[in-house]
Amino acid sequence: MTMGLPANPLGRSVDPSLRRPTRVRLTRSRLLLGLLGGLVVLAVVRVITGAQDLTSAGTLGATVNLALPIALAGLGGLWSERSGVVNIGLEGMMILGTWFGAQFAFISGSPWMGIVGGLVGGLIGGVVHAIATIVFGVDQIVSGVAINILGLGVGRYLSGVFFTGQAGGGPTQSPQVPTFHSLKLPGADSLFGGVEARHWLVVSDVAGLARAVLTSLNVFTILAIALVPVTWFVLWRTAFGLRLRACGENPTAAESLGVNVYRMRWIAALISGMFAGLAGAFLVNFTGIYREGQTGGRGYIGLAAMIFGNWRPGGLFAGATLFGYTDALQLRQGSTSVHALLLVLVVALAFAAVMAIRRRRPAAIVVPAGLAVLVAVLYATTSTLPSELVTYTPQIITLLVLALASQRLRMPAADGLPWRRGQRT
C-alpha cells in the first residue's frame, strides 16, 4: 500500500462483525425468549385485531407444509454454496423433483417412491449443473438460469408424453398420486381445538400451536425437519464437512492440504440437486398432484432464506419458517390476516429501532423507525389489504427482510467463482 490508497476503497469489504465486537450473540436462552416473545406479540395482536387465523392450528399446520419445501430448497442451496458453487438452478431442479416425484409415486402407488422420484429428478439437475460448472467452468449463475429453463421444458414435455390420457392427468398436471397420511395423536384435535375456539390470550395460541404439531405432521415432514440438524452436523461437525466448506472458502488452500476440490464440489452439487428435488417431491406429497407452475418460485425463496440465514442451517430454517408462515397467512383470510400482520411488523420495526438506540447507532435508527411509522399509518387508514397484493406477501417480506438484514451477512469467500486445478489465487 505504498500508493496511499484508502485501505477500504469500496467501503464495504470490511466484515461488519469485525467492526462491531459488541454484536449480540444468539444463545439458546435468547432464542427461546425471542420465540416466546414472538408468540406473545402474535397473541396480543390477534386479540386486538380479531384476526383469529394469526395463530390458528390451520395456519400453523399450513406453515409447516409451506415452510419445509422452502427450507429443503434452501438446504440444497446451502450444500452447494458452502462448497463454492452458486446454485440458482434450484427452481428448475425442484420442478424436476415434482415431476419425477409424482411419476414415481403414481406408477408404484407408494408415497415412498415419490421421495425416491424427487431425489432422482433433482439429481439429474445436479448432474447437469456439476458438469457445466465444475467440468467446464461455466459461470454458475448462467448454468443455473439454463437449468431453470430446462426444468420447465422437461416438466412440460414429460407431462405431455406421460400424463396425457391418464385419469385426471394432462399436459399440465398429473393424476392424483398417493401421499403420506398425517400422524394424528388421538384426542389432540378435540382437546386443543376446544381451547383454541375460546380465543383466550396466549393460552389459545399455544393450543393452536400444539394442535398443529400433533395433528398435521406426517412421515415426510418429520424427515424434512430432521434434515436441518443432519445438515448442520455433517457440515460443521465432521471432517468431510470441514473439507467441503474449505472448498467454498479457499479452494486453492484446500487443495494444497490434499482435498480433492472437484470431487467435493461434485458431491455438494449432487446433494444440492437431491435436496431441491426432495423439496419438489414434498410439494407433490402436500397437494397430492403434480401441477405446472406448482413450485411458484419457492426455489428462489429458498435461496433467499439461505442468504437471510447467513449460509447457516439454523438461520435458514428460521427464514423458511417466516416465509412459510406469511404464505400460510395469505392463504387463510389473507386480506384480514395480513392486515393484522402489519401491526406485528410495526412492533418488529420498533424493536429494531430500540435495539439500534441501545447500541448507539443513530444511522440504523432512522430507517426502521420511519418504516414503523409508515406501516402504522397504513394499518390505521385501511381495514383490509387488496387480495391481489396479499398473494405475494412472502415475496414482499423477503425483500423487506433482505433489505434490513443483509449487511451483516458473510457468504463463503469463494462462492460463485469458477476454480480450476493449478490455479494460484
Partner 1 sequence: MTRMTRAAFNVGAALLGLLVAALIAAAILLARGSNPIFALSQMVDYGSQRPSIVAIINSATTYYLAAIAVAIGFRMNLFNIGVDGQYRLAAMLAAAFGGSVALPNGVRQIATVAVAMLVGALWAGVAAVLKAARGVSEVISTIMLNFVATGIVAYLLTANRLGYQAPGSNNIGTKPIPPSGQIVGLDLIPGAGRRVYGLIVLAVLVGLAYQLVISRTRFGFNLRATGRSETAAAASGVNVKRMIIITMLISGAIAGLVGMPNLLGESHQYSLNFPSGLGFTGIAIALLGRNHPVGIAFGALLWAFLDQSALILDIYSIPKEIVQILQAAVVLSVVVTYELVRRFALMRQQQRVGRQLSGAPDGPSSPQEVPA
Q: Which of 100, 95, 91 is nearest to 73 (CA)?
A: 91
What type of residue is 140? Answer: Q
Residue 163 sits in the site that holds partner 1 (CB under 8 A): no
Cβ-based nearer residue to partner 1, 50 or 293: 293
Among the listed ranges 129-137, 222-230, 240-248, 343-351, the one in contact with partner 1 (CB under 8 A) is 129-137
Backbone angles phi, psi at 386, to 5 degrees: -60, 130
The sign of the CA dihedral 317, 322, 325, 327 is negative
Cβ-based nearer residue to partner 1, 81 or 205: 81
Q: How far is the CB of 425 from partner 1 (least distance, A)?
A: 6
Taking CB under 8 A as the criterion, the residue among 152, 219, 223, 369 binding partner 1 is 152
Q: Strand runs (DSSP E) across 197-320, as ranges?
A: 217-218
Among all chains, which residue has been given the C-alpha cell 458473510?
410
Taking CB under 8 A as the criterion, the residue among 137, 168, 229, 370 binding partner 1 is 137
Residue 143 sits in the site that holds partner 1 (CB under 8 A): yes
Residue 18 sits in the site that holds partner 1 (CB under 8 A): no
**Cβ(272)–Cβ(76) under 8 Å?**
yes
Query: Looking at beta carbons, which pairs linking 232-236 to residues 24 or more positions away fall under 8 Å?
Result: 232/312, 232/313, 232/314, 235/78, 235/79, 235/82, 235/313
Residue 407 sits in the site that holds partner 1 (CB under 8 A): yes
Residue 241 sits in the site that holds partner 1 (CB under 8 A): no
Residues 6+ apart with CB under 8 A from 324: 62, 63, 64, 65, 66, 67, 68, 70, 71, 394
Q: How far is the CB of 17 from partner 1 (least distance, A)?
A: 14
Q: Mark residues 80-119: x for contact with partner 1 by CB under 8 A, - for none.
A: --------x-------------------------------
Q: How far is the CB of 164 from partner 1 (least distance, A)?
A: 9
Residue 354 sits in the site that holds partner 1 (CB under 8 A): no
Among the listed ranges 65-73, 143-151, 263-271, 334-342, the one in contact with partner 1 (CB under 8 A) is 143-151
**Cβ(316)–Cβ(78) under 8 Å?**
yes
Residue 269 sits in the site that holds partner 1 (CB under 8 A): no
The footprint of partner 1 on residues 291-330 (CB under 8 A) is 297, 300, 303-304, 307
What does the alpha-carbon distance between residue 54 and residue 337 come to, in Å, rounded to a whole number? Answer: 6
What does the alpha-carbon distance between residue 62 and residue 53 come to, in Å, rounded to a whole number? Answer: 11
Residue 369 sits in the site that holds partner 1 (CB under 8 A): no
Residue 139 sits in the site that holds partner 1 (CB under 8 A): yes
Residues 6+ apart with CB under 8 A from 191: none
Q: Which of 99, 71, 102, 65 is nearest to 331 (CA)?
A: 65
> b/e string for 138-161 if b means 16 or more Cβ within 10 A?
bebeebbebbbebbbebbeebbee
Cβ-based nearer residue to partner 1, 103 or 218: 103
Among all chains, which residue has been given the C-alpha cell 443483509?
406
What H or E segment, with its residue span, contains residue 182?
A: strand 182-183
Number of shown-chain residues binding partner 1 (CB under 8 A): 54
Among the listed ranges 34-42, 46-54, 215-223, 414-422, the one in contact with partner 1 (CB under 8 A) is 414-422
Residue 149 sits in the site that holds partner 1 (CB under 8 A): yes
Cβ-based nearer residue to partner 1, 258 or 422: 422
Which three-class secondary structure state does DSSP give residue 291?
Answer: strand
The sign of the CA dihedral 174, 178, 183, 184 is positive
Cβ-based nearer residue to partner 1, 116 or 141: 141
Binding interface with partner 1 (CB under 8 A): 5, 9-10, 12, 88, 128, 132, 136-139, 141-143, 145-150, 152-154, 156-157, 160-161, 171, 297, 300, 303-304, 307, 386, 388-389, 391-392, 395-396, 398-399, 402-404, 406-407, 409, 418, 420, 422-425
